């Protein structure tokens, strides 16, 4: 079933849309590259997710020097 098979904004269309997104994300890798080389970062910042040619997703996180991944 597709979201367009149901009335706009109905619970059924929203459920179908969530299923479409879930199916698209299945089997994909979501990779975050941690960059702690910046001295001007006071709190963690993230770039938007970008889909690569291989279908996986990646982003860069800039964190303050000395901050751990945890």
User: What mean pLDDT value characterizes the chain?
Assistant: 85
CA dihedral (35, 36, 39, 41) positive or negative: positive
Give the chain's end-to-end CA distance (angstroms, integer).
40
Would you kindly state where each structural domain of the chain is located, as residue ranges? 3-62
- For 1-25, what is each residue's pLDDT tens digit? 788 889 898 999 999 999 888 877 7
The partner residues of 46 in beta bridges, in order of sequence, read 61
pTM of the model: 0.55
Cα→Cα distances 9→20, 45, 46, Å: 15, 33, 31
Least confident interval from 10-14, 25-29, 37-41, 55-59: 37-41
Contact assessment for residue 56 and residue 28, using Cβ atoms and an 8 Å cutoff: yes
When pLDDT is cut at 50, 70 and 90, the band that residue 38 belongs to is low
């Amino acid at each position: 079933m597709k979201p367009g098979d149901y009335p706009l904004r109905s619970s059924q269309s929203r459920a179908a849309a969530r299923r479409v997104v879930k199916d698209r994300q299945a089997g994909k890798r979501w990779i975050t590259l941690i960059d702690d080389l910046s001295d001007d970062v006071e709190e963690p910042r993230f770039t938007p997710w970008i889909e690569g040619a291989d279908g996986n997703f990646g982003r860069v996180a800039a964190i303050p020097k000395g901050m751990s991944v945890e």
